[in-house]
Amino acid sequence: MQQSRTGSTDPARTDAGRHTRWSGRLVGLVAVLALVNFVVDSAVTAPLVVLPEMLDHFGTDQAAWLNATAMLAGVMWAPLLGKAADLHGRRRVLVLALLLSCAGALLCAVAPSLWLFVPGRVLQGAALATVFLSVAMVRGLCAPRIAMIVVGIVTSGSAVLNIASRFVIEDLAERFGFQILFLVSALVAAAMAVCVHRVLPEAPVRTPGRLDVGGALLLGGGLVGVLGYVSLGSDLGWLAPGPLALLVGGVGALARWFLVSSRKPDPLIDVRNLGGPLVLTLLVVFLAAGSYQSVLQLIPLIGDVSADQRLGYGLAGQGSVALLLAAPGLGVTLGGPSAGWLAARVGPARTLAGAIMLGTVVTVGMFAGVSRLPVALCCGFLLGVTVGALGTSGFNMAGSLAPPERQGIVSSLVMVMVSIGSVVLNFVGAAVLESTSVVVGGETANSATGVFGYIAIASAAFAAAAVLAVLLVRSGPRLSAVPRHSKES
């Protein structure tokens, strides 16, 4: 790797132009990338706070179109932008992703109807790429041991901001309408694009070849079609023409992508040479990410139920349920950097396995947490630690298995698996709750059977991920430890 001009005089950058210890410049880079990841929350998840207002404004009850569109579009954008980053430069593509998100937010802010609002959400979905592009940049700018710590800070550091932003969003939406959220999101994305362009150096590593746009569209479109059916089918009807068309089109696109890619000399993803350890890592991320997302989805549901309703669970009236909702965010802030620090010492494979073990224990603990607030608070916080540690460890593990010129596309696969796992396990959990619901006082409520069955499924998925994580640790000693460089601190 060639030494970067921007870092040639920096004494902290002695390992082929990469940062090997902390310095003022590195702190600035980390701060910018952490704020860049805040764009994801403002674009993808923050609009849920004003979802009722958006439904009223557009006169629709199709919440799925407003809620899931950005995440599904992010799955489509991920492989395309990941591969483009390896070919044309990670900083350049990161700026592009931020500008696409900015344009989408502006379109959403001025959209008079769903016909313009939904395309705006599709453009906003490009913000999902900022997570894995930030990780790829870190691994290009930092030596391996310090990169693992920085990845944890970058991917988890904005969690506290995400919590605080919820209160600001609610206040602004009440005063100026939900459109102000999208204007703020556009402003944040534009500001971060400028910061990235001015502050971050471009990685000198490039992958020779051409961008397989056709393959990227087939893969991304196929994933969106299948996940769109899973996400939207419950609201629109599993046999409705729209969801069925998404399913058939998605399966067809994925089949076509696999057949075509297996014959191309330079495919978007060389599925024939992914390697066993990387496949194991992606499966672990899929199962664990889906499990913790489903449990996080369950927390507000049990928080709104009082034990006086005698459903066999419920936390309302036992204390501040707001703390229950904030606890995971605080845990994420701790779990990400801690996992990076630990991975630099014992290796990303063992750290990933440890995060999975913790998640399994915490999820099982929710059997008691659904009716006892102190237990729920502890489990919520530790689940947040698991979330931060899993994200950091998953990216670190995948990055350690990829050469420098493929960091973008491999990191994008981790993000894709997180999204797929979240959609699939959330749907499975929701289906369990719906099929076991009961009527109490004339209103439909989730039964204890459904809640405990929901937790059992999440625990089983975590346990399966734990088995795969153990296999990953045993797959080779080089995956379990990181050699200490003599110049690193």
> Residue 438 is encoded by which pair of tokens?
């009961």
Of the chain, the percentage scoring pLDDT greater than 90 comes to 30
User: 49-83 burial by CB neighbour count: b if 16+ within 10 A, else e?
Assistant: bbeebbbebbeeeeebbbbbbbbbbbbbbbbbbbb
Helix (H, G, I), strand (E, B) or coil at 440: strand
Query: How many Cβ atoms from other residues are within 10 Å of residue 13's Cβ?
Result: 24
Classify the C-alpha dihedral 396-398-401-405 as positive or negative: negative
pLDDT of residue 126: 92
What's the rounded Cα separation, in Å, for the pair 206 and 424? 35
- Looking at residue 161, its amino acid is L
Name the pLDDT band for 68 (thresholds 50, 70, 90): confident
Continuous segment of H or E residues that includes residue 460: helix 448-474
Residues β-bridged to residue 403: none
Alpha carbons 358 and 362: distance in angstroms, whole number: 6
CA 378 to chain centroid, in Å, comes to 23
Rounded to the nearest 10 degrees, the angle between the axes of helix 373-400 and helix 407-435 is 150
Nearest to 160 by CA among 391, 327, 375: 327
Least confident of 8-12, 178-182, 203-207: 8-12
Contacting residues for 468 by C-beta, under 8 A, at least 6 apart: 280, 283, 284, 287
Residue tagged 């001009």 (tokens): 5
Angle between helices 213-236 and 407-435 (to 10 degrees): 10
Instruction: Evaluate whether 458 touches 466 at the Cβ level (below 8 Å).
Output: no
Range from 68-77, 84-93, 232-241, 476-485 carrying the lowest mean pLDDT? 476-485
Q: Which of 59-68, 136-145, 287-296, 370-379 has the lowest mean pLDDT?
A: 59-68
What are the tens digits of pLDDT across the range 260-289? Answer: 877 777 777 877 777 889 999 999 999 999
Phi-psi region of 444 (alpha: psi -120 to 50; beta: other; left: phi over 0): beta
Half-sphere exposure of 466 (CA within 13 A, CB side): 17
Residue 230 to residue 240: CA distance in whole angstroms: 12
Q: Residue 65: its pLDDT value, please?
A: 67
Task: Look up residue 15 and give its DSSP letter.
Answer: B
The whole-number pLDDT of residue 487 equals: 39
Instruction: Quote the pLDDT of residue 1.
Output: 37
Is the pLDDT at 250 greater than 60? The verdict is yes
Cβ–Cβ under 8 Å, residues 419 and 371: no
Query: How far apart are the two ends of the chain, measured CA to CA in Å?
Result: 21
Mean of the per-residue pLDDT values of the chain: 84
Q: Give the sign of the dihedral formed by CA 87, CA 89, CA 90, CA 94.
A: negative
Q: What is the pLDDT of residues 283-320, one digit of tens each?
A: 999 999 989 988 888 887 888 788 888 888 888 877 66
The CA distance from 173 to 117, in Å, is: 17
Q: Could you report the per-residue pLDDT of 334-391, keeping only the tens digit for each?
A: 999 999 999 988 989 999 999 999 999 999 999 998 888 899 999 999 999 999 999 9
- How confident is the model over 436-453, as a mean pLDDT? 86
- Pairing verdict, β 438-440 and 443-445: antiparallel
Beta bridge partners of 316: 306
Rounded-to-integer distance, Cα 474 and Cα 114, Å: 51
Q: How far apart are CA 185 and CA 180, in angstroms?
A: 9
Q: Measuring CA to CA, which residue among 190, 161, 185 is closest to residue 173?
A: 185
Highest mean pLDDT among 59-63, 248-252, 261-265: 248-252
AA letter at 52: P
- Would you mind telling me the total number of residues written for the chain in this entry? 489
pLDDT at 62: 65
Per-residue pLDDT at 64 exceeds 70 = no
- Confidence class for position 321, pLDDT limits 50, 70, 90: low
Q: Which token pair is 195?
A: 């910061």
**CA 338/CA 345 separation, integer angstroms:** 11
pLDDT score, position 3: 40
